[in-house]
Amino acid sequence: MGKRVITFKADDEFIEKMDRAKNVLGLNRSEFIRTAVLKIVSSLENDGKTIVCLELSSEELLYLRLISNDPVVAVKHLIRYAMSEPMDTLLRR
């Protein structure tokens, strides 16, 4: 299937934020936008799962990458680990 060009307008501040984010992820603009849109579209098609956006420091992102190169996989791993612990143990931390 061929690809078509889609354009949209954005202010300079938005573009600067997007460029910083895509650089952190090692993506070009097209890959970054495509990934973001696909995540939203797939969440709507995926049994009502919710998209959650987190603001992470570079240090927090580094620690997640120690678990997995994919931050989503790392966060899910941490959640599953927390779910396996008794709730009172987690609340004491």
Residues 36-51: pLDDT tens digits?
888 778 777 766 666 6
Q: Give the whole-angstrom CA distance, residue 65 versus residue 74.
A: 7
Nearest Cα residue to 25 out of 80, 69, 81, 89: 69
pLDDT score recorded for residue 90: 63
Q: pLDDT per residue over 61-76, tens digit each?
A: 888 989 998 888 899 8
**CA triplet 25, 80, 90: central angle to 5 degrees?**
110
pLDDT score recorded for residue 56: 85
Q: pTM of the predicted model, to two decimals?
A: 0.50
